[in-house]
Structure 1
């Protein structure tokens, strides 16, 4: 019986792209806006170690999968996440040119990820499904609302679009492995609460750390602009909130958000 739920027309395959963002990361690359730049940089800081943990969690169950389609998608998932980890590691290293103490921020997050890596395999995989849900919803939003990246430098736009495309393509792979090998709905939803807390915790802490170095941590204007960006207009998190919460439904599945047409359109633009 086929257990892969990736729909027809969607292929999970890594694209070996490289992005030279060193020069752009010396600047406030997102429209010269301190908060928007710090927010996206704060997300990037979690990706190298976070995505390696996603790979590790799926590998724990890879040998239990017999469906050839899902086995192929697991291989593609690992390839995509490995390349994301590589590009964001270079991205984060380049942030040091602005005086950020990236090593300290990495150590803080690595301590958390080491704890995650000591959890039982089922909890690690449930955590991966939850974190993949956040990246999939944010990826969909970035693809659907190109105006959210208005003012960003060209290479940074492309890097985030590429990442969003591939997160969309593989958004059900870990979920399908979990459903086939673990299947507990209560564990999936309980672990998502912890994932939610840690996702927002480290994004907030990283954003504050970056703004402190920029001398903007106590700037009321910076925070008002940031709150408007996230919760007002355009309202990045506000518009994503219903999709975030959909994960708690008993019948939830990542492809209930069927954004294949959006994916195809962005793929054409990326390749162009």
Structure 2
């Protein structure tokens, strides 16, 4: 059973929400008819440490932001992202309780963001102090690029939920994907606007935009592969790229052509994520899909 709980009023048009999901009946194969694609969905539960990483960076940037509307949106963004992460963690804990080993993947993944893309203690060294703000801006550019990728995935989920249903998606997983996707679309402008206020350098946005695409197609397939190698039903395993292309042809994962087109939009000098969707239409269209939606009334708060 899925329950959506309305949260306290927020001084932002972005409304953090909580969702309770019952994972007790969720199988290892999130998509019964497409187990390989299902493991790509399972891998999403492993990647959510990045959402805590976003929150850490935003907390560092908050004192530098003068636009109080953006400050309110940043705080709502952080609440949404932290809730997303905790909810996905519930799903991965359920899979781990069923015997799936996840710790070795998480150790490498979290090390990458906490150490390689961490603070590096620049504030401790006076001669490196000028680099502290520069390094924060670079990571905010990474955040903007990664949010662009999650926006792409969110739009794909909402436009292709029927294909996921035909592939036998677990109901709790589908509820999670729709709820998460709606909120990703709702806060799609925030990371981009924060980066623009802190730096806005186009060359940096493009540079890190390319690298975030590399990050995505390294860690996401690696996470899916981590599940596949532990799945005894998968006797014949394809390479990571072959697996992805196979699932994309089936329509159970986004195709690379649409991803490429979406990515190229981000490279344009006049790009802004507000043009990618209309928030009110998305919420109005999809709120009824989730159970007990009558208890949840997303609204703009003055």
**TM class, shorter-length:** 0.7 to 0.9
Determine which of 169, 172, 179 is the counterpart of 1:152: 169
Q: Check whether the contact 2:247–2:253 (CA below 8 A) recurs between aligned residues.
A: yes
TM-fit CA distance, 1:32: 4.2
Partner of 1:174: 191
In 2, Cα distance between equivalents of 1:235 and 1:144: 12
TM-fit CA distance, 1:128: 0.5
Partner of 1:265: 285
CA-based RMSD: 2.3
Q: Residue by residue, what CA displacement relative to the aligned partner does 1:88-110 show, whole Å, maximum 9, x if unpaired?
A: 11111111134321111110101
Distance 1:55 1:237, change over 3 A: farther
In 2, Cα distance between equivalents of 1:256 and 1:217: 44
TM-fit CA distance, 1:23: 2.7
Higher helix share: 1
Determine which of 253, 260, 269 is the counterpart of 2:272: 253
Partner of 1:14: 16
TM-fit CA distance, 1:58: 1.6
Q: Check whether the contact 2:109–2:219 (CA below 8 A) recurs between aligned residues.
A: yes
**After superposition, where does 1:26-41 map in structure 2 within 5 Å?**
26-41=27-42
Distance 1:89 1:233, change over 3 A: closer
Q: Residue by residue, what CA displacement relative to the aligned partner does 1:58-103 show, whole Å, maximum 9, x if unpaired?
A: 2221112222221111111010001011111111111113432111
SS in 2 for 1:83: helix
Partner of 1:118: 119
In 1, Cα distance between equivalents of 2:253 and 2:95: 26
Does the alignment pair 1:109 with 2:109?
A: yes
Q: Residue by residue, what CA displacement relative to the aligned partner does 1:195-248 show, whole Å, maximum 9, x if unpaired?
A: 111111011111111111003273359987752332464661333331122111
In 1, Cα distance between equivalents of 2:186 and 2:50: 18
The unaligned stretches of length 5 or more in structure 2 are: 1-11, 121-134, 295-302
Q: Residue by residue, what CA displacement relative to the aligned partner does 1:87-144 show, whole Å, maximum 9, x if unpaired?
A: 1111111111343211111101011111112371011101100110010111011112
In 2, Cα distance between equivalents of 1:180 and 1:12: 19
Partner of 2:209: 192
Q: Normalising by structure 1, what TM-score?
A: 0.88
Which protein shows a greater Rg? 2
Q: Normalising by structure 2, what TM-score?
A: 0.80
Q: Check whether the contact 1:93–1:102 (CA below 8 A) recurs between aligned residues.
A: no
Q: Check whether the contact 1:109–1:202 (CA below 8 A) recurs between aligned residues.
A: yes
